[in-house]
Amino acid sequence: MDLLPQGIKGSKTQMAYNHKKVRQSLLQSFFLSLFVAFNVFLCYQLLFTTSFFHLPFFCKQDIKINNPKHNLSQTPCSSLTNNTICCDRTNYHSDICFMIGDVRTHSPSSSIFLYSSSNDTNLIPQEEKIKPYTRKWEGPIMVHIDELHLRTIHSPNASLPCDVHHNVPALFFSAGGYTGNVFHAFNNGLLPLYITSHHLQRQLVLVVLQYRHWWFTKYQEILAQLSEYTPIDFSNDSRIHCFPSAIVGLHFHGTLAVNPTELSDNKSITDFHCMLDKAYKSKVEQIPSQNLKERSSKPPKLVIVSRDGTRVIENEAKVSHLAEEIGFDVEVLKPGNMMAMERIYRSLSSCDVMMGVHGAALTHFLFMRPGSSMFIQIVPLGIEQLAWSCFGEAAIRMGLRYEEYRILPRESSLYWMYGGDDPVVKDPNGTKAKGWEMTKEVYLEGQNVTLDLGRLKKTLVGALQYVVSKRRY
């Protein structure tokens, strides 16, 4: 049998030459095989261990860009020039303004001044007003948000001498509104903060209107990932702070959303998750390893997010026992206002499945592992669309397996309170058509659930099979 490829037969010289080419080809194939093997090993390490690199495989290194307007896609302010103020008011949820130049604060008058030393008498003074909170469409809440006045001053002599000089930009925003609710703290605060500032790589100062000490204490690890400087309490700091530029207000991309198509660096909600990972991983001791063998030797972990007051699982103990019988290691977690975020992170970053009734505490799904974890949202009567829009879409975007357990009428306390033929139970859409207050009073604040263990068992068995299958790869 002729083992030589076609086209290399001939003289001894040609044979030697071609034999050399074959050896070179073999060597190239050998080194290519080594390269492929190394990359397979590298992928394995990234996918299944935490010891090789500190962060999960889906977390990417950021590129440092110290330009406050760099990360803008094509917007009304993408061509901002020096010594000018530009405001983008095209977003339904939020306004945002940019100031480039000698920026100075004056908190007693709720003002931010942009000084210019130019003597040009043709320069037109600018003045803008803005409430830097991401629910501008909601009048009743915006009434309670402090307003800022932005003004240009063209004068060679500054009448506001600087008390504190900063060499990085400022970002002004409000910590008022619904910030006490964890869903809104992330949706209307921390996520818009990330979207607006992450490209500055912590090289900015957060200037906070309606600053609350408890808010800073609760979220300080996340805030430290956004800025390496101590936040400024705008209302209670009367000193004149001077900055080379400022962003006033926050970008908003949607409910628990980071839209890559609106950012020049294509960041997504997964990148925000990675930032949360950086914030808390170093503070949490004994983070369970993601090593395949170690994970496979332990029962999958299910965290049941428990509630008080409304939308309570009235047979929670039986639900927990059922899950244990199926094969889960069960933890019942009741996140409260006083519970440290790293405590919640410890539970959810290590779990395989999180399950809970619709409510603000489910926002903590952001701590779960993308690609291998499942989120089961228990959906009470009348709030199917709300449950999907608040958490379902966002969980899928982050790479979680998302399932809904939609209760039947008999699983709702409303069935026993009103009767099965009452419109509240029989026609939730018709009842909700009476307005948001009716929806809130009846379906959000007036309902508990008692889960059908037979129905739930099918959901939990499916969840167990899913997470076990993810451990095999």
Tokens describing residue 458: 């099918």
Instruction: For residue 438, list its beta bridge partners.
Output: none
Nearest to 412 by CA among 314, 292, 346, 268: 314
Report how far residue 173's alpha carbon sits from residue 168's, in angstroms, rounded to the nearest whole number.
16
DSSP assignment string, 277-339: HHHHHTTSSSPPP--HHHHHTSPPEEEEE--SSSS-BTTHHHHHHHHHHHT-EEEEE---TTS
Query: What CA–CA distances, in Å, run from 348 to 31, 162, 191?
Result: 42, 46, 19
Chain segment 210-269, per-residue pLDDT in tens: 999 999 999 999 999 999 999 999 999 999 999 999 999 999 999 999 999 999 899 999
Supply the pLDDT for residue 268: 96
Domain boundaries, the chain: 84-278, 291-470
Supply the pLDDT for residue 166: 98
Supply the pLDDT for residue 473: 56
Supply the pLDDT for residue 284: 76
Q: Collapsing DSSP states into helix, strand and coil, what is residue 233?
A: strand
* Cβ-Cβ contacts under 8 Å for 321 (sequence gap 6 or more): none
Report the percent of the chain where pLDDT is more than 70: 79
Supply the pLDDT for residue 337: 86
Residues of the chain with pLDDT under 70: 1-74, 118-123, 156-158, 285-296, 472-473
* Cβ-Cβ contacts under 8 Å for 347 (sequence gap 6 or more): 303, 331, 333
For residues 81 and 101, the answer to whether their CB atoms sit within 8 Å is no
Fold of 291-470: Rossmann fold (3.40.50)
Report how far residue 376's alpha carbon sits from residue 328's, in angstroms, rounded to the nearest whole number.
14
Supply the pLDDT for residue 445: 96
Supply the pLDDT for residue 311: 97
pTM of the model: 0.83
Q: What is the largest CA-CA distance in the chain?
A: 98
